[in-house]
Structure 1
Amino acid sequence: MPRPSQDQDQALLAAGAALYPGLGCAGLSVRRVAEAAGVNPAMVHYHFGSKDAFLRALLQQHYEAMFSALQLTSQGEADVMERLAAALLGVARFVREHRPLIARVWADAQAGEAVAQDFLRANAPRHLGVLMALLQQAEAQGRLPRQPVLTRFSFLMGAVVAPLLLAGGMQAIDAVPPALRAAVDAEMLSDAALERRIEWALLGLASGV
């Protein structure tokens, strides 16, 4: 008997990625994912074993691509401040490109969904650890002054990532004033805007003020 197509698991994951932000863990059904992927619902269980296992694979697939790139960036031979800036840019791009998914994961976790909670517990310390290690290296090399770890980290996230979430939330409910709509992409979401905020944030940390 021929084995089902190797492409079906990826088709299911792609369908799940499109549906999950709008439906969440509770609303996403095996049948709906299979219908969107154009396969038999039994293929979800064949490839993943259960709905929860499918959701875990879906979330992990998105995260691992970002984390692998983050590790490569952090372990390069470039100047530590350049590596830190590149790592922050990688995380910011991930947030920008997956804002609806990230928002849903947080909402599901707060609603008590075990899959979302387990995902955050397992993975949040990984990228936070990489960024904090780079900050500590920069401090050890005298590139950044000694500062409280969480204060420094929260300042960076507030400067670099928070505007992405704010812009995404306002766009989602069509709350961006008409006069500013054209500026949101250029001044908040573009790579140039991300790089500018990262530069300003690191200059602020380096000043020690």
Structure 2
Amino acid sequence: MKKDIHTHEHLLNVGFEMFLEDGSRNITVRKLAQRANVNSGVFSYHFGSRENYLTELLERWYAPMFNNVQMTMGSNLPPLEGLRAIILEVLDYVAKYGKLIAHLFLDAKSGEQAARKFANNVPLRHPRVILQAIKRAQDAGCIIQEDPVRLLLYLVSVTEAPMIMQHMIHGATDLSPAMMQDVRVILDDPTSAAQRLDWALKGITV
């Protein structure tokens, strides 16, 4: 029997809302079914298991960004511009879904299998494309001839990492609410992230 696409998408959309709120740690089949107003049998029919469901949910969220990064890598942009454009693609996604990414890290740390599997596979995906872009810029003589992996870590540490960190430290700091708000605005602002990227690229440009 053909599966109801509307129900399938509805379950994924509801689960995505729950993931944004509390991560996958608190998504159970019962809670999801109740919130989606379906019975547990419908969930099992569409996904088979909770882990299958979470795996599909994460891939559905990640795929558009990864596809954009691959398309940018395949474009005709000059090497240094291409590297910048690829990282900006990632930063736009991090700015939009930083809270989800923070939850994902915490889920993986807590032993959630789908989150762990996803986190373990990510280095083979968009970071690898960024690494290719770094090597291409090196081959073109645009940036310094240092270990590409070290350069990748450097660029990530000054761009993506602060944006994710602000979601992880929220509520776990001694800063005053006003100061914390200033920090969050700076760390979560895509324009500030792009500025940090430009500073970082200037630091490795020859």
Which range, TM-score by smaller chain? 0.7 to 0.9
Quote the offset at 1:39 in angstroms.
2.4
Quote the offset at 1:135 in angstroms.
0.1
- Which amino acid in structure 2 is aligned with residue 192 of structure 1? T
Asked if structure 2 preserves the Cα contact closer than 8 Å seen for 1:95 and 1:164, the reply is: yes
Q: What per-residue deviation string (whole Å, max 9, x for no partner) do you get for residues 105-144 of structure 1?
A: 2222223332222212223311111000000000000001
C-alpha separation in 2, matches of 1:5 and 1:79: 46
Return 5-14 or 134-143, whichever deviates more: 5-14
Q: How high is the TM-score relative to the length of structure 2? A: 0.88
C-alpha separation in 1, matches of 2:41 and 2:133: 45
Quote the offset at 1:52 in angstroms.
1.0
Quote the offset at 1:33 in angstroms.
0.9
Report the counterpart of residue 76 of structure 1 in structure 2: 75
Report the counterpart of residue 165 of structure 1 in structure 2: 164
Quote the offset at 1:172 in angstroms.
4.8
Asked if structure 2 preserves the Cα contact closer than 8 Å seen for 1:34 and 1:41, the reply is: yes
Asked if structure 2 preserves the Cα contact closer than 8 Å seen for 1:99 and 1:168, the reply is: yes
Q: How high is the TM-score relative to the length of structure 1? A: 0.87
- Which amino acid in structure 2 is aligned with residue 124 of structure 1? P
Report the counterpart of residue 135 of structure 1 in structure 2: 134
Alignment length, in residue pairs?
A: 206
Where do residues 13-162 of structure 1 align in structure 2 (5 Å cutoff)?
Answer: 13-162=12-161
- Which amino acid in structure 1 is aligned with residue 76 of structure 2? E
Return 18-27 or 57-66, whichever deviates more: 18-27
C-alpha separation in 2, matches of 1:121 and 1:57: 16
Unpaired runs of at least 5, structure 1: none
Where do residues 190-209 of structure 1 align in structure 2 (5 Å cutoff)?
Answer: 190-207=189-206
C-alpha separation in 1, matches of 2:200 and 2:152: 11
Distance 1:65 1:49, change over 3 A: same
Quote the offset at 1:175 in angstroms.
5.9
- Which amino acid in structure 2 is aligned with residue 95 of structure 1? V
Distance 1:83 1:92, change over 3 A: same
Asked if structure 1 preserves the Cα contact closer than 8 Å seen for 2:102 and 2:165, the reply is: no
Give me the identity figure in percent.
27
Unpaired runs of at least 5, structure 2: none
Asked if structure 2 preserves the Cα contact closer than 8 Å seen for 1:170 and 1:176, the reply is: no
Asked if structure 2 preserves the Cα contact closer than 8 Å seen for 1:145 and 1:206, the reply is: yes
Quote the offset at 1:26 in angstroms.
4.5
Distance 1:115 1:166, change over 3 A: closer
Cα RMSD after superposing both structures: 2.3
